[in-house]
Chains A and B, each alone.
Chain A
Amino acid sequence: MFEARLGQATILKKILDAIKDLLNEATFDCSDSGIQLQAMDNSHVSLVSLTLRSDGFDKFRCDRNLSMGMNLGSMAKILKCANNEDNVTMKAQDNADTVTIMFESANQEKVSDYEMKLMNLDQEHLGIPETDFSCVVRMPAMEFARICRDLAQFSESVVICCTKEGVKFSASGDVGTANIKLAQTGSVDKEEEAVIIEMQEPVTLTFACRYLNAFTKATPLSTQVQLSMCADVPLVVEYAIKDLGHIRYYLAPKIEDNET
């Protein structure tokens, strides 16, 4: 028996919006500790890792580990049926081939439940090693989304160069070149708007804009985004989900002809 209840459906909605563009379907691995999802996009260039801790749920029960393969498009459709303030409850029997998603209005006057077929997905699971990143940049999620959107107009790829002074996003294409520099904020009045750079050594990496723009779909989940970079290692874009967990995007760097 698996049952997980969230106070607000809007969080689940945002989570689905954050991953459904990259993934067509994914397996939710439910265990006593919470719900985890890890999947690569079709091209295997990026990887999504979602962690929802059990203590973040209003109610969480998972008697046996359960893997629920879901079509994320279908899941998103169901979640569209929920009001943002609704309570959402996911339920599944131990060996069921369906999951029930129930929405309850705040006043309990309306209860709607949707049953969705589960899929048996044969997806590769990657072992992600612990990495000491050379650079970790924390910046406002909105700012990152804006940068990615703007630079995507100039080139398919964006170069992220992180130094002590700050982080520079640059793109060059037929139209011309674009450079956006963010300096570390001196005084941190508002944590939400702070740009914080933790750097062991400078890093310059190139990534595909399309994926970065796909990652920014998670912007509504968090005010801050954390970019972790290390030479010749995938970029980690992490959005924290308050009180619940986080969603991490891994993006393999492009093979750089310019690096030499």
Chain B
Amino acid sequence: MIMVRRRARPAKESKDTHGGAAIPEGQPLNAAAAVAGSLLEDQYFASPKRKDCRLMKASENLNLPEATAANRGHHHHHNHNNNKDSKAAGRTIGVPLATRSQTRTIENFFKANAAAAKHTTNSVATSTNHHQAEQKTIDATGETEEELKLQDEDEEQLHLQLADADEELKLSDEQLNEELQQVVEELLFDGSSTASSTSPCPYQHEVAAMQKIQEIQDIQEMHEIHEIQEVLGTMADFQTHRSTLRDSHSSTHSSSTDNIFLQEPVLTLDIDRTPTKASSIKINRSFEVAGGVFSSPPSVLNACVLNGRFNQIVSLNGQREEPVLPLPNFEVDQHDTSSCDSGVACGLTAATESPAPGAGAVRRRKPATPHRILCPSPIKTALKVTAGGGLISKGGGGGGNTDPLSPRKSPRKLPATTAAVAACKSRRRLNQPKPQAPYQQPQQPQLKKPPPQQQQQQQDDIVVVLDDDDEDEEEDEDDCHALMKAAEERENQNKAPVTANNSNNKVGIMGVKAMLKPPPVSKTKARSKGPAKGQLPPLPLAATNGNREMTDFFPVRRSVRKTKTAVKEEWMRGLEQAILEERCEGLEVRHFMGKGRGVIAERAFKRNEFVVEYVGDLISISEASEREKRYALDENAGCYMYYFKHKTQQYCIDATVDTGKLGRLINHSRNGNLMTKVVVIKQRPHLVLLAKDDIEPGEELTYDYGDRSKESLLHHPWLAF
């Protein structure tokens, strides 16, 4: 599914932007698809992709007629599909190559290379890919139109090629280094995952080189599209010789003289390729074939292996490229690891225009973290380059992101520790390796010329990297998408592949995540259950399995303890309740000799227990004084005025009137067994008599009236007791 999505998106993009170029590519691709040879097919596919890319770019540059564009678009779709198929099945199996189309393209490339060689010896190496692309385009579209355009372009290309030649020379050196690294890496990859660590360096170099090449290509495309067209025209001429050229192409490509031609087409190709990862992968394979690998079809297998490594290699290449690039700007970028690309871009920009800085930014991004950086950076760079300074700035931001990529690497390594991680890595590797292999191979053979191709490949690799990155961080992808949106047609093209890649990546990521997640979860579960509880965890299960619980048989002892406040609140509620009920239970009125009526307890009262309320009229002090004067006239009136103070206010409860309530009948004792307490109910204070201590049944209830005045004592001598 992923592959399909990628292909479809890139194809669409290519149609929209580079419709003309697509057609030629599609034809070769279809042919390649038809062919079943796995190794050869892979190589061919790689080449067709490259060709397609190149063709697309060329077509765009040439401004081919709409009809041709539409045709190209269809071809692109086919190509993409083929590429996808080749990626999906082809990686393992070997894509059935449309040998015819591929061969044609190759021949065209060779022819182009030859022409390029004639024009400029340096461009030969780069021409292989370009030639193929050009040939494809030529085949698809009217060769005549292309030729016309190509002628114009050829002139431009010559100029560009001159500038590029120098760059290509540098790149070729870098590529050689990268190729060596890649080979080492491939070996390492074959051996074990650990090899990947080494491989990154070559990858980076390659990536950087690719980026540089791409930048150069972009620049060339911008200025020299016409030249490409011219080359295409020449390619068309050569097409007759394609078959022979195909075989020779690898060798011719290996010769770096044709680089200029190749580079220009490569630039266009790069754009197309970036959009379609699958195509890029195929191209890479073809590059490999073209390069030293070409001689040995089995190299495809190596390429596959390499592909996995390629991602790493790409990162490594980017690093290496940085040093290789002589450009001052590049040197600055090199610190970032993408300096090489940036340097190339700078050089190109100096020669051409603004796109260089964007490329530099892209390059920077790539170096920082091979996978992440590469994927986003290429797309971003291409977009940025096309878009201009603003885009470039974004690319720089992307570059900043790439720096974080290093952390990404570490996380990847970390996951490797776990089996799930390993699985993820294996997937990543699988995805990456395919693109990588092509990159490596093409870079080596093409040298200077390959750089553009390499750039394209790098873009593809980058895309692959993005997949990895996506797994690691989807945000980067989003950023890329945003950049893509901002970018123009090229950007759109790039976006389509990127999105496809992202979708693929996401799917892959999802799978990877799923893979990753389950193991850790199981581990955690095992840990928690196994060591901690041991038997306990199963126990609950048993309980759930129809086992009864102990609480079904034994009552839980609930603590009766209550906090002080809770106890007090409860007690107060009890008092209020008693007052409202006018409770007077367990009391009995009895006559005592010498003091009249009194109250005894019929039952035991516990300490602080409510006994009875002192019921009477609540009156103010002034009212009390008046009543007291009145009562003073009546000697039979007892002492029933209870004065108390509550909340700073003096109250009096007058119980002189015999209401039958028992509270007023309780006698005085300075050592009574009751105490009074004020309880406020509904804003009205009540006087309550509580048991000061535990009271036994039959005890007389008494409390201290508290009146110590001499006058009272004089009239009521019993107050003294």
Residues of A whose CB lies within 8 Å of any CB of B are 21-22, 24, 40-47, 73, 124-129, 156-157, 208, 210-211, 213-214, 233-234, 250, 252-255, 257
A44 near B535 (CB under 8 angstroms)?
no
B539 near A208 (CB under 8 angstroms)?
yes
B554 near A214 (CB under 8 angstroms)?
no
Kindly list chain B residues whose C-beta atoms are within 8 Å of the C-beta of A22: 535-536, 539
B716 within 8 A of A: no
Kindly list chain B residues whose C-beta atoms are within 8 Å of the C-beta of A73: 532
Supply 11 further A-B pairs (C-beta < 8 A) apart from A42-B533, A127-B555, A208-B545.
A22-B536, A40-B550, A40-B551, A43-B549, A45-B542, A45-B543, A46-B539, A125-B556, A127-B554, A234-B550, A234-B554
Kindly list chain A residues whose C-beta atoms are within 8 Å of the C-beta of B522: none
A45 CA to B541 CA in the complex, in Å?
10
For A207, give the chain B residue with the smallest CB separation: B547
Kindly list chain B residues whose C-beta atoms are within 8 Å of the C-beta of A211: 539, 542
For B554, give the chain A residue with the smallest CB separation: A126
Q: Bits for B543-561, please: 1 = Cβ < 8 Å to A, else 0.
A: 1111111111111110000
- Shortest CB-to-CB span from A216 to chain B, Å, is 11
B535 near A214 (CB under 8 angstroms)?
yes
Q: Ordered nearest first, which 10 A-B pairs have the shortest CB separation?
A: A43-B543, A43-B540, A208-B542, A126-B554, A252-B548, A45-B543, A44-B549, A255-B546, A125-B557, A47-B550
Q: Looking at the complex, which one of A43, A124, A126, A234 makes contact with B539 (CB distance below 8 Å)?
A: A43
B549 near A45 (CB under 8 angstroms)?
yes
A245 CA to B506 CA in the complex, in Å?
64
- Shortest CB-to-CB span from A46 to chain B, Å, is 7
Q: Looking at the complex, which one of A44, A156, A157, A210 makes contact with B550 (CB distance below 8 Å)?
A: A44
Query: Interface centre among A45, A124, A213, A254, by most B CB within 10 Å?
Result: A45
Q: Looking at the complex, which one of A126, A214, A255 makes contact with B556 (CB distance below 8 Å)?
A: A126
Q: What are 16 A-B contacts with C-beta separation under 8 Å?
A: A24-B532, A24-B536, A42-B539, A43-B539, A44-B543, A44-B550, A45-B540, A45-B542, A126-B551, A126-B556, A126-B557, A208-B539, A210-B542, A211-B542, A213-B535, A253-B548
A250 near B550 (CB under 8 angstroms)?
yes
B548 near A210 (CB under 8 angstroms)?
no
A124 CA to B534 CA in the complex, in Å?
23
Known: A24-B533, A44-B543. A255 touches B548 (CB 8 A): yes
B538 within 8 A of A: yes
Kindly list chain B residues whose C-beta atoms are within 8 Å of the C-beta of A253: 547-548
A44 CA to B550 CA in the complex, in Å?
6
A127 CA to B557 CA in the complex, in Å?
6
B547 near A254 (CB under 8 angstroms)?
yes
- Shortest CB-to-CB span from B93 to chain A, Å, is 45
Known: A47-B554, A252-B552, A253-B548. A156 touches B542 (CB 8 A): yes
- Shortest CB-to-CB span from A53 to chain B, Å, is 22
Kindly list chain B residues whose C-beta atoms are within 8 Å of the C-beta of A21: 534-536
- Shortest CB-to-CB span from B136 to chain A, Å, is 66
A257 CA to B340 CA in the complex, in Å?
78
- Shortest CB-to-CB span from A228 to chain B, Å, is 13
- Shortest CB-to-CB span from B551 to chain A, Å, is 6
Which size class do B's interface residues fall under?
20 to 34
Q: Bits for B519-532, please: 1 = Cβ < 8 Å to A, else 0.
A: 00000000000001
A255 near B547 (CB under 8 angstroms)?
yes
Kindly list chain A residues whose C-beta atoms are within 8 Å of the C-beta of B539: 22, 41-43, 45-46, 208, 210-211, 214
Query: Interface centre among B532, B533, B543, by most A CB within 10 Å?
Result: B543
B556 near A210 (CB under 8 angstroms)?
no
Tell me whether chain B's interface is mostly helix, strand or loop, or mixed.
mixed
Kindly list chain B residues whose C-beta atoms are within 8 Å of the C-beta of A124: 551, 556-557
Kindly list chain B residues whose C-beta atoms are within 8 Å of the C-beta of A42: 533, 536, 539-540
- Shortest CB-to-CB span from A208 to chain B, Å, is 4
A254 CA to B551 CA in the complex, in Å?
14
- Shortest CB-to-CB span from B328 to chain A, Å, is 65
Kindly list chain B residues whose C-beta atoms are within 8 Å of the C-beta of A257: 546
A42 CA to B541 CA in the complex, in Å?
11
Query: Interface centre among A213, A254, A257, by most B CB within 10 Å?
Result: A254
B546 near A46 (CB under 8 angstroms)?
no
A41 CA to B555 CA in the complex, in Å?
16
- Shortest CB-to-CB span from A99 to chain B, Å, is 22
A210 near B538 (CB under 8 angstroms)?
yes
A41 near B547 (CB under 8 angstroms)?
no
A228 CA to B555 CA in the complex, in Å?
19
- Shortest CB-to-CB span from B389 to chain A, Å, is 64
Kindly list chain A residues whose C-beta atoms are within 8 Å of the C-beta of B540: 41-43, 45
A238 CA to B716 CA in the complex, in Å?
74
- Shortest CB-to-CB span from B127 to chain A, Å, is 73
Chain B, 218-261, CB within 8 A of any chain A CB: none
Kindly list chain A residues whose C-beta atoms are within 8 Å of the C-beta of B552: 252
Kindly list chain A residues whose C-beta atoms are within 8 Å of the C-beta of B551: 40, 44, 124, 126
A47 CA to B535 CA in the complex, in Å?
14
Known: A126-B557, A252-B550, A252-B553. A41 touches B542 (CB 8 A): no
For B545, give the chain A residue with the smallest CB separation: A156
For A257, give the chain B residue with the smallest CB separation: B546
- Shortest CB-to-CB span from B699 to chain A, Å, is 35
Chain B, 537-586, CB within 8 A of any chain A CB: 538-540, 542-557
- Shortest CB-to-CB span from A179 to chain B, Å, is 21
Kindly list chain A residues whose C-beta atoms are within 8 Å of the C-beta of B547: 43, 45, 208, 252-255
Kindly list chain A residues whose C-beta atoms are within 8 Å of the C-beta of B535: 21-22, 210, 213-214
Kindly list chain B residues whose C-beta atoms are within 8 Å of the C-beta of A213: 535
A208 CA to B549 CA in the complex, in Å?
12
For A131, give the chain B residue with the smallest CB separation: B553
B557 near A45 (CB under 8 angstroms)?
no
For B553, give the chain A residue with the smallest CB separation: A234
A233 CA to B557 CA in the complex, in Å?
18
A73 CA to B545 CA in the complex, in Å?
27
- Shortest CB-to-CB span from B531 to chain A, Å, is 10
Kindly list chain B residues whose C-beta atoms are within 8 Å of the C-beta of A45: 539-540, 542-543, 547-550
Kindly list chain B residues whose C-beta atoms are within 8 Å of the C-beta of A234: 550, 553-554
Q: Looking at the complex, which one of B538, B544, B548, B554 makes contact with A128 (CB distance below 8 Å)?
A: B554
Kindly list chain B residues whose C-beta atoms are within 8 Å of the C-beta of A233: 553
- Shortest CB-to-CB span from A73 to chain B, Å, is 8
- Shortest CB-to-CB span from B69 to chain A, Å, is 69
A234 CA to B548 CA in the complex, in Å?
9
For B557, give the chain A residue with the smallest CB separation: A125
A46 CA to B547 CA in the complex, in Å?
10
- Shortest CB-to-CB span from B315 to chain A, Å, is 47
- Shortest CB-to-CB span from A42 to chain B, Å, is 6
A156 CA to B546 CA in the complex, in Å?
11
A124 CA to B549 CA in the complex, in Å?
13
For A123, give the chain B residue with the smallest CB separation: B556
Kindly list chain B residues whose C-beta atoms are within 8 Å of the C-beta of A157: 542
Query: Interface centre among A22, A40, A43, by most B CB within 10 Å?
Result: A43
A255 CA to B552 CA in the complex, in Å?
12
B557 near A46 (CB under 8 angstroms)?
no
Kindly list chain A residues whose C-beta atoms are within 8 Å of the C-beta of B543: 43-45, 208
A211 CA to B555 CA in the complex, in Å?
21
Kindly list chain A residues whose C-beta atoms are within 8 Å of the C-beta of B532: 24, 73
B550 near A46 (CB under 8 angstroms)?
yes
A44 CA to B548 CA in the complex, in Å?
8
Kindly list chain A residues whose C-beta atoms are within 8 Å of the C-beta of B533: 24, 42
Kindly list chain A residues whose C-beta atoms are within 8 Å of the C-beta of B538: 210
Chain B, 578-611, CB within 8 A of any chain A CB: none
Kindly list chain A residues whose C-beta atoms are within 8 Å of the C-beta of B554: 47, 126-129, 234, 250
Q: Looking at the complex, which one of A41, A47, A127, A250 makes contact with B536 (CB distance below 8 Å)?
A: A41
Kindly list chain B residues whose C-beta atoms are within 8 Å of the C-beta of A41: 536, 539-540
- Shortest CB-to-CB span from A86 to chain B, Å, is 26
- Shortest CB-to-CB span from B547 to chain A, Å, is 5
A233 CA to B548 CA in the complex, in Å?
10
Q: Bits for B117-130, please: 1 = Cβ < 8 Å to A, else 0.
A: 00000000000000
A156 CA to B541 CA in the complex, in Å?
10
Kindly list chain B residues whose C-beta atoms are within 8 Å of the C-beta of A43: 536, 539-540, 542-544, 547, 549
